[in-house]
A = this chain, B = another copy of it.
């Protein structure tokens, strides 16, 4: 049996499972905020910087308009953001936090704490892991896209 084809030797599979299992753990923590996981990372990005076009938000979150447009419409319906077409450039839509959306940040403060209780124990050296993953993230999304795209 080819060692390289063994499931337990696939880094991709380990990443994929860890990602899914972590996201699953967010569910009960995000339910009280009426947010899905994707809505949550979207709000995280906007709390750091709002009044940005969909494009910029997408670059920050590694998501395209096909995913963001319906998500943002839901967040708008929920009252956390507003989508405002720019008057400078009618092609772009800027995302603004509403007061409700800004206030939500306070309630969200306990989410990372809850996760640390739930998952934290499973993470040896979080800081180092985070750095390695960030290095990988940028390499994955640049290496074959240097000149093109």
Contact = CB atoms under 8 A, between A and B. Distances in A.
Interface of A: 1-2, 4-23, 25-26, 37, 41, 44-45, 47-48, 60, 62, 105, 108-109, 111-113, 115, 118-119, 121-124, 126, 129-130, 132-137, 139-141, 143-144
Contact of A14 (B2, B13, B108, B133): B133
A11 B105 contact: no
Given A7-B45, A12-B23, A132 B136 contact: no
Main secondary structure of the interface of A (DSSP, over half): helix
A139 to B, nearest CB: 4
Task: State the oligomeric state as a number of copies.
Answer: 2
Nearest to A144: B118
A33 to B, nearest CB: 12
29 contacts: A1-B47, A1-B48, A2-B105, A2-B109, A5-B44, A5-B105, A6-B44, A7-B44, A7-B48, A10-B112, A11-B22, A11-B129, A12-B26, A12-B115, A16-B22, A16-B23, A17-B141, A18-B19, A18-B136, A18-B140, A20-B62, A21-B137, A21-B141, A25-B140, A25-B144, A121-B139, A122-B135, A122-B140, A122-B143
